[in-house]
């Protein structure tokens, strides 16, 4: 039976930390759920991690639905949250409702995530009124990276810190069941966590959030890029995989693989009959 948004809210109430990961395909989803991850985010970060773009901007709703459906299909217990990508919800609450409905119906996710604070409160309210659970996203919002002028930490000065506090309260009152805080200074993230009834999920927001979300590929060092400061490599799976592939290449080139043990036999009688027939 799948976990629900109520389970995450109960975890905050009981003081149990929430460990989330991104998942973009069957392999990452299966491994994460088997390891006990209670909630998986099918993030539009797949634009960079999977598709090779330099931002999340090119990702489409169809692509998000495709990947989210895979993650839902191969999991049984984790709550699956699907990102609404760039310009699929910002025009109007009605546009957001249509996009979120597709994500719920076609991918089967248990909730959607969207970026924005007080400006998105009417949209969050519209979705939740129609039975669509919404996770909000504050701080560094990757879909607005061009407006920020890069991936910059948020909440360093009084004005932005106060805005983040207001935004957090606004999305909660609008009905969001949780909020991601990305690249938010630790003191501000702590204040938001203490003020809100709903869980805060940090990524580069310090140790005081109710939970953490990290990119699957970052914590396993599965790509060549440097690990972000807010991440930690828990297993250097990338190096193990690269070495395994290098060994495979070497053995194929040396004629050491495959061997007879990796092939399939036929009966001596059938082999002899085939040879006779082909003479």
Known catalytic residues?
Answer: 182
Question: 219: burial class by Cβ within 10 Å (0-12, 13-18, 19+)?
Answer: middle
The DSSP line for 87-131 is TSSSS-HHHHHHHHHHIIIII--SEEEEEBSGGGHHHHHHHHHTT
Pairing of strands 18-22, 39-42: parallel
CA–CA separation, 181 vs 12, rounded Å? 15
Distances (CA, A) of 200 to 5, 8, 139, 170: 13, 10, 12, 14
CA–CA separation, 239 vs 51, rounded Å? 21
Three-state DSSP state, 30 = helix
- Asked if 186 contacts 202 with a C-beta cutoff of 8 angstroms, the reply is no
3-state helix, strand, coil in the chain (%, to 5): 50, 15, 40
CA–CA separation, 247 vs 262, rounded Å? 16
């Amino acid at each position: 039976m799948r976990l629900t948004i109520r389970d995450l809210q109960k975890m905050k109430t009981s003081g149990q930390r929430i460990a989330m990961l991104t998942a973009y395909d069957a392999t990452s989803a299966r491994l994460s759920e088997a390891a006990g991850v209670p909630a998986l985010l099918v993030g539009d970060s797949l634009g960079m991690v999977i598709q090779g773009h330099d931002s999340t901007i090119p990702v489409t709703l169809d692509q998000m639905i495709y990947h989210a459906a895979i993650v839902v299909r191969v999991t049984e217990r984790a709550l699956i949250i699907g990102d609404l990508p760039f310009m699929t919800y910002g025009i109007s609450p009605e546009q957001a409702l249509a996009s979120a409905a597709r994500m719920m119906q076609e991918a089967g996710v248990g909730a959607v995530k969207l970026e924005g604070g007080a400006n998105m409160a009417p949209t969050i309210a519209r979705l939740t009124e129609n039975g669509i659970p919404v996770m909000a996203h504050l701080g560094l919002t990757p879909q607005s990276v061009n407006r920020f002028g890069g991936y910059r930490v948020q909440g360093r000065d009084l004005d932005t810190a106060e805005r983040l506090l207001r935004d957090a309260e606004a999305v909660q009152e609008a009905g969001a069941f949780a909020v991601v805080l990305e690249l938010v200074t630790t003191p501000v993230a702590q204040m938001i966590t203490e003020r809100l009834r709903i869980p805060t999920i940090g990524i580069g927001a310090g140790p005081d959030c109710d939970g953490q979300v990290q990119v699957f590929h970052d914590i396993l060092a599965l790509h060549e890029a440097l690990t972000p400061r807010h991440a930690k490599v828990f297993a250097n799976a990338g190096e193990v995989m690269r070495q395994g592939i290098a060994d495979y290449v070497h053995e194929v080139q040396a004629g050491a693989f495959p061997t007879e043990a990796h092939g399939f036999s036929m009966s001596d009688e059938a082999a002899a009959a085939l040879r006779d027939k082909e003479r």
